[in-house]
Amino acid sequence: MLLNMHVEESWCAQIDKHIDHQKYICIHAFSDLSHISPPIFIYLLKECYLCGTRKATHKFNVLQQHVFKALCNAPQPDPYTFILHCLYILPLLGLQYAEGFSHLLMCSLKRLKNQRPVELLSQAKRLASRLFLDILASSVIHEERILIKVLELFEIGLKDIEEARLASVIKKDDVEKTMAFIERYIVDFIESQSYMTATVLVEHFSIYLGQSFLLKMMDKKQFKAAERWAMFMGKPMICLLVQKYVEMKMFKNAYDVIKSKNLKEEFPNVQRLYKESSLKKLAEKGLWDVAELRAMKDRQLLEFVVYLAMEAGYAEKVFELCERYSLEGFNKLTVSGKSSSGACYLDPEKLMIDNIIWVDELHGLISATNYIEGCKVVGIDSEWKPNYVKGSKPNKVSIMQIASANQAYIFDLIKLHEDVPIELDNCFQKIMCSLNILKLGYNLQCDLHQLSQSYGDLTCFRYYEMLLDLQKLFNQTVGGLSGLSEKVLGARLNKTRRNSNWELRPLSQNQMEYAALDAAVLVHIFRSICNQPHSSLEEMQSKVGWKCHIVSRTGNANRKS
C-alpha cells in the first residue's frame, strides 16, 4: 500500500477546494478495503476529516458518501463486522471524534443495508449484541444514541442478548432472565432521566412498566418519549396521555393525539378547549383580527372572543364584534374603560387631533409635505402587517404616519411606491433630511430598519437629520410608548389595533385613529417634558439633556448633531 499517495481530486475537492496538495495521506483504502484493518481505516478517516478548512457539517456529509462507497469495496470479513470493530476502536480517539464518527459510520451502514441484501447481517449479530452489552456496562464508551442505533440496525432480540451473555445454548428460563437483566438497565436509564432511551428499550423488548412510567415522563415534561410509549402500549395508555395533557392545559398536544388516533368520541370537548386556548393566546398578544378570523365560522367562538375583549377592557372591540355579527346579550354587560393594569386609555379627541388625512396619491403627497415642512416638531411612526409564520421575513411596511400636535398624515407607502416612487422619495427626503424639523420617534431604529428593508430602492429612509428617539431619554424601561404616555400624560395608549392587518384597504376608523395617535402622542409627550421646569420623572435626563440625543445620518457615517 502506498503511504505517500496524493489525495484523489474527486475526494478532496468536495471536502475543500483549497486543500494544500502538498499534504500526503493514504486513502488507497477507500478504493479497496480488502487488505485494510479497522484501526487503519479509522486513522485514514480522521486524517481526511482534518484536511481542509470547510465546516464540520460539510465535511461529514462528504465523508459519509465516501464511507458508503468504501463499504462496498470488500471490507473483511463483511461490512457489518468491519463497522462493529471500528465502533470498538473509536472511543480511543476521545469524545471529540468518537461521537461524530460513530454516527457517520452507522448512517453509512444503514444506507448499505437499505440498498443491498442483508444475509451477512446475521453473521455479525452476535458481535453487535456483545457491543450492545459492553456499551450498557460502560466498558465501551458510546453515547446512548449509538446504543439505540446498534440495537435497531442489527435487529437485536432477547435471544441474541442471551447468547452473547452466556455464549451457550439457550434454556427455557434464560429469556426471562435476560428480560430481568434488561429491565435493570431500563430502571437505571429512568433514574438518570434518559427517558427516550428507556422508552426505546421498553418498546424494542416489549417490556411492560405500567402507567406509572408514563406519569413519571409527563411530570418530567418528557412529552415526546411519553407519546412514543403511549402509542406503543395502545388505546388505554393513549387515553391516559390525552387526559394528562388536558389536566396540564396542553390542549394542542391533546388535540393532535386525538386527531391522529381518531379519539374525538372519547374526548368530545378537547377540540373546543384547544380552539379557545388558541384564541386566548392571540388575544394576549393583541392579535384581535387574527382571533376574529379564526372564530368567524363559529358563533360560540366569536362570543368567546367578545368575552376576551371584555376581560381585557377593549370596549371598542366588543362593540365592533357585536355589531358586525349581530351578537346579542352583551349590551347588559359592562366593559371597563381600563386595561388590565388599571390605566385609562388616551382619547384622540382629548388630545385635540383635529384632522387625520389619508395620503395615497401625488396631490395629497405634495400637500402633506408642504404642511410638514412648516412644522418645527413632528412625530413619526410606521405600521406593517404582522407575520404569523415563525422564522419568516417581516412583511413590507404598509403605512407611515407623520403628525404635528393636532394634525396627522397617514401615507399609504405601498400604493405611493407603486404609483409615484420618484416623487415619494423626493418628498420624504425633504422631510427626513430637513435641519428645520425635529422628528420624534420611539424605538426609531426598528422602524428605520424595516423601512429601508421594505423600500431598498429609495434613499429617503437611509439618510436623515434631526431625529430624536424618546426611548433614549430614559434610563430604564417604562412599558414601551404606552407606558411612557401613562407616566407623562396620565393615560395609556389603546393597543387593540397594534397587530391588525395594515394592508387592508380602506383602513377602519379605529385603525386610522390608532395610527394617528401613535405619531401625535410623541409630540405631546415631548412638549409636556420640555414644559416641566423640574421634571418629576426620575428616569428623565436634564431639561437640556435631550439635545445631545438628536442624531443624523449623512452618507455612510453616523454622527450626533
Which three three-digit cell numbers place residue 284?
394576549
pLDDT in tens, 231-246: 999 999 999 999 999 9
- Distance of alpha carbon 358 from alpha carbon 174, whole angstroms: 85
Question: In this predicted model, which residue has the larger pLDDT, 189 or 293?
Answer: 189
49 pLDDT more than 90: no
- What architecture is domain 355-560? 2-Layer Sandwich (3.30)
Decide if pLDDT at 25 tops 50.
no
**Average pLDDT value for residue range 540-552:** 67
Which pLDDT band holds residue 541 (cuts at 50, 70, 90)?
very low
The residue with greater pLDDT, 284 or 204, is 204
Q: pLDDT-derived band of residue 401, with 50, 70 and 90 as boundaries?
A: very high
Mean pLDDT of 72-84: 90
Tens-digit pLDDT profile for residues 319-344: 888 888 888 876 555 554 444 444 46
Q: What is the DSSP string of 477-489?
A: --SHHHHHHHHHH
- The DSSP symbol for 294 reads H
Task: Please state which of the ranges 57-66, 140-149, 424-433 shows the lowest mean pLDDT.
Answer: 57-66
What mean pLDDT, rounded, does the chain reach?
A: 83
Predicted local confidence at residue 19, as pLDDT? 40
pLDDT band, very low/low/confident/very high, at 22 (cuts 50, 70, 90): very low
Residue type, 415: K
Q: What's the confidence (pLDDT) of residue 484?
A: 84
Please state the pTM of the whole predicted model: 0.62
Q: Please say whether the beta carbons of 294 and 269 come within 8 A.
A: no
Question: Using the 8-state DSSP alphabet, how is residue 314 labeled?
Answer: -
Neighbours of 137 (CB within 10 A): 9
Q: Which of 149, 147, 129 minimizes the C-alpha distance to 138?
A: 147
Q: Is the pLDDT of residue 536 over 70?
A: no
Q: DSSP for 338-397?
A: B-TTSPBBPPTTTTT--EEEEE-SHHHHHHHHHHHHT-SEEEEEEEE----STTPPPPPE
Q: What is the pLDDT of residue 493?
A: 81
Tell me if 207 sits within 8 A of 179, measured CB to CB.
yes
Task: Give per-residue pLDDT as tens, 382-397.
Answer: 999 887 666 678 899 9
Task: Assign 29 a pLDDT band (cuts: 50, 70, 90).
Answer: very low
In this predicted structure, the answer to whether residue 310 has a pLDDT above a threshold of 70 is yes
503-522 mean pLDDT: 90
Span 441-496, pLDDT tens digits: 998 888 999 999 999 999 999 999 999 998 887 655 556 888 888 888 888 887 76
Indicate the pLDDT class of residue 118, thresholds 50, 70 and 90.
low
518 closest CA partner among 489, 494, 546, 550: 494
Q: Rounded to an integer, what distance in angstroms lies between the CA atom of residue 11 and that of residue 19?
A: 11
User: Cis before residue 533, ω within 30 degrees of 0?
Assistant: no
In angstroms, rounded to a whole number, what is the distance separating the alpha carbons of residues 210 and 237? 9
The full 3-state SS of 59-94, as one line of letters, equals HHHHHHHHHHHHHCCCCCCCHHHHHHHHHHHHHHHC
Domain ranges of the chain: 9-156, 210-267, 270-325, 355-560
Question: What per-residue confidence (pLDDT) applies to 96?
Answer: 82
Residue 30: the pLDDT is 55
Q: Considering only 44-58, 328-342, 518-532, which range has the smallest mean pLDDT?
A: 328-342
